[in-house]
Amino acid sequence: MTKKVLIISTSLRNNSNSEILAHETERGAIEAGHEVEFVSLKDKEIKFCKGCLACQKLGKCVINDDANEITAKMKEADVIVWATPIYYYEMSGQMKTLIDRANSLFTTGKNFTEVYVITTSADSEKGVVQTVLSGVNGWIACFDDVQLVGCLEAGGVDNPKEASSRQALLDRAFEMGKNI
């Protein structure tokens, strides 16, 4: 079955390690026959949520920036793949800000039922991803029928573009996309 996959790259660095792996996941999902859209938060204006809850009534945020367009894409996707660098053992701030701004999805409905996460970090210790997954699972818990299906944890990639030379990571990202 063809799925509509939205990959959201949250790193602001050009050709970041998480973005490199996200593109490999994209390549795998395309090869599997899925319809894939890749969104980068680079050069996007995404302001902080005001907590006004107007989005719950209006179906979109009252702040006029790029978050509404991305949230609309999230609503239509069957699968969402988040790609984030880990900063201080947590998801990027821009990822958290977009999650907060996607508050309208709770009342307007959405299609997605599957979520995947790609993380990169300088720290190679196992489990660095746990705080990121805790945040993502907190978001997922707000929906009745959504589950975290897969996670690619890429630790020990601390140099720019290092992921592009780590074939095992590239293969894992590609396979994750292929298995969506």
Residue 81 CA to residue 92 CA, distance in Å, equals 14
Contacts of 39 (CB under 8 A, 6+ apart): 6, 7, 8, 9, 70, 73
Name the one residue in this structure whose structure tokens are 């701030």.
93
pLDDT band at 38 (very low <50, low <70, confident <90, very high): very high
CA 91 to chain centre: 10
Q: Work out the pLDDT band at 172, boundaries 50, 70, 90.
A: very high
pLDDT tens readout for residues 54-94:
999 999 999 999 999 999 999 999 999 999 999 999 999 99
The predicted structure's pLDDT at residue 157: 95
Q: Is residue 158 pLDDT above 90, yes or no?
A: no
pLDDT at 109: 82
Q: Where are the beta strands (DSSP E) in the chain?
A: 4-9, 35-40, 79-85, 114-121, 147-155
Structural domain boundaries, residue 80: 4-178
For residue 45, name the pLDDT band (cuts at 50, 70, 90). very high
CATH number at residue 126: 3.40.50.360
What CA–CA distances, in Å, run from 135 to 30, 67, 178? 28, 19, 25
- Which pairs from 87-96 meet CB under 8 Å and 24+ separation? 89/123, 89/128, 89/131, 90/131, 90/132, 90/135, 91/10, 91/119, 91/131, 91/132, 91/135, 91/136, 92/10, 92/11, 92/12, 94/10, 94/12, 94/41, 94/46, 95/8, 95/10, 95/41, 96/135
Specify the number of domains making up the chain: 1
